[in-house]
Structure 1
Amino acid sequence: MITWIITAEIAFWIVIIFGLISRYAFKMPKLSIFFFALTPVIDLLLIILTIVDLKRGTPAAISHGIAAIYIGVSIAYGKTMIAWADDKFQQWFLKKPKKIRLTGKEKALHEMNMLARHIIAFVIGACALYGMVILVGTNTDATPLLQIMRIWGIVLVIDVIISLSYVFFPSRK
């Protein structure tokens, strides 16, 4: 299962790179949109492969939980990751100047936005994980899936604390 997750991640970045190359090097914006539109297809394939793997009777494992995290993060942060890659591509290959580092209120707002995305990813991942628990039913031990949820919950609490620190203790220039 972990091989499928790694393959999905590699495929995600390959279609992003192809999208950026077609947009900037070949000046084909419609083709770039096609490549960017493939990213949710990759997520869908990973969901299908995870379900098939569990339906075949494979015991629920941490890798299935990681697949749920990947799907949640990919959906919640996908557009942000593409924008980040677009910005980096322009900096590296088109020599666009770097963005000014955010501080103060702007940094706090950015961190709150990223926290909201993390919460969305958590909810999507949790739904996927609990869907897997229901799917495996009583036929196999779902403990690894629930352990992933607990660990991710701890990570989310840490993210909340760090993100809120930018609100209460804004960074200075």
Structure 2
Amino acid sequence: MVVGLIVACEVGFWVLLAAGLAVRYLLKWRRTSVALLLCEPVLEVVLFAVTAVDLRNGAEPSWEHGLAALYIGYTVAYGHYTIRWLDGHAAHRLAGAPRPHRPPRYGMARARHEGALWLRTLLAAAVACALLQAAIWYVGDGDGDTSTLRTFQWVSLRALGIHGLIALTYLIWPKKQPDTAARPVEDRAPTGR
């Protein structure tokens, strides 16, 4: 049941997002668009409530409950970022707005960008771990096997660590911008013949 609800929440997220952007840019109904986009967090609240009720009604804590916590954490951290990114592209395509800025590709600007994304992942992991810990306390260590929920806490921390290492590589080895100005043929060094 929980997995079906996670899938329904994900589909609902994209349907509400598409509807909100279509209403905003095709029909020019800004208030309706805002109302549709504000319904997005309701999906996570419903998922959280159903998961809590499922656990309280005696369901054995399983990977579905852990996945629900990870999904909610990811949506809290990256949901608004995704909506803003897609809104910029929709405004460009449908309303003639300027092309949205791309993330930096080189140097320390790229390292800062990757660091900011890692902070979002930190938020996602913190929310997921907090929800999982609340579920562990909610079920009670003595009443049921909560090892699956603890395993998902480690999954979120591992994802945070892996993303942190990737972000750190951009800081340690910043990608250099390619030299776009090709040297003229006359300035090339002789081949030695």
Name the structure, 1 or 2, with higher relative contact order (CA <8 Å, separation 6+).
1
What are the within-5 Å matches in structure 2 for residues 45-84 of structure 1? Answer: 45-84=46-85
Counterpart of 2:109 in structure 1 is: 106
Instruction: Give 1:41 deviation, angstroms.
Output: 0.8
| Segment of structure 1 superposing worse, 162-171 or 96-105 | 96-105
Shift in Å, 1:91: 5.2
| 2:186 paired residue number | none
Larger radius of gyration: 2
CA apart distance, 1:161: 0.6
Q: Which blocks of at least 5 consecutive residues in structure 1 are unaligned?
A: none
- Tell me the distance in 2 between the aligned counterparts of 1:77 and 1:48: 21
Which digits, 9 at most, give the CA deviation of each residue in 1:4-33, with x for residues without a partner? 111111111111111101111111111111
Give the match for residue 32 of structure 1.
33
Query: What are the ranges of 5 or more consecutive residues in structure 2 without an aligned counterpart?
Result: 178-193
In structure 1, the partner of 2:10 is 9
State the 4+ residue runs in structure 1 displaced beyond 2 angstroms: 87-101
- Alignment correspondent of 2:19: 18
SS at 1:15 equivalent: helix
1:152 aligns with 2:153: no
Deviation at 1:94, TM superposition (A): 5.4
Q: 1:10 corresponds to which letter in structure 2?
A: V
Residue in structure 2 matching 1:170, options 158, 167, 174: 174
Structure 2 length normalisation: TM-score?
Answer: 0.83
User: Which structure's residues are more often helix, by fraction?
Assistant: 1
CA contact under 8 A between 2:25 and 2:90: conserved in structure 1?
no
- 1:60 & 1:35 partners in 2: Cα distance? 33
For 2:108 and 2:69, locate their aligned partners in 1 and report how far apart those are by CA, in whole Å.
Answer: 33
- Structure 2 Cα separation of the partners of residues 116 and 100 of structure 1: 19
User: Of the candidates 111, 119, 122, which is equivalent to residue 119 of structure 1?
Assistant: 122
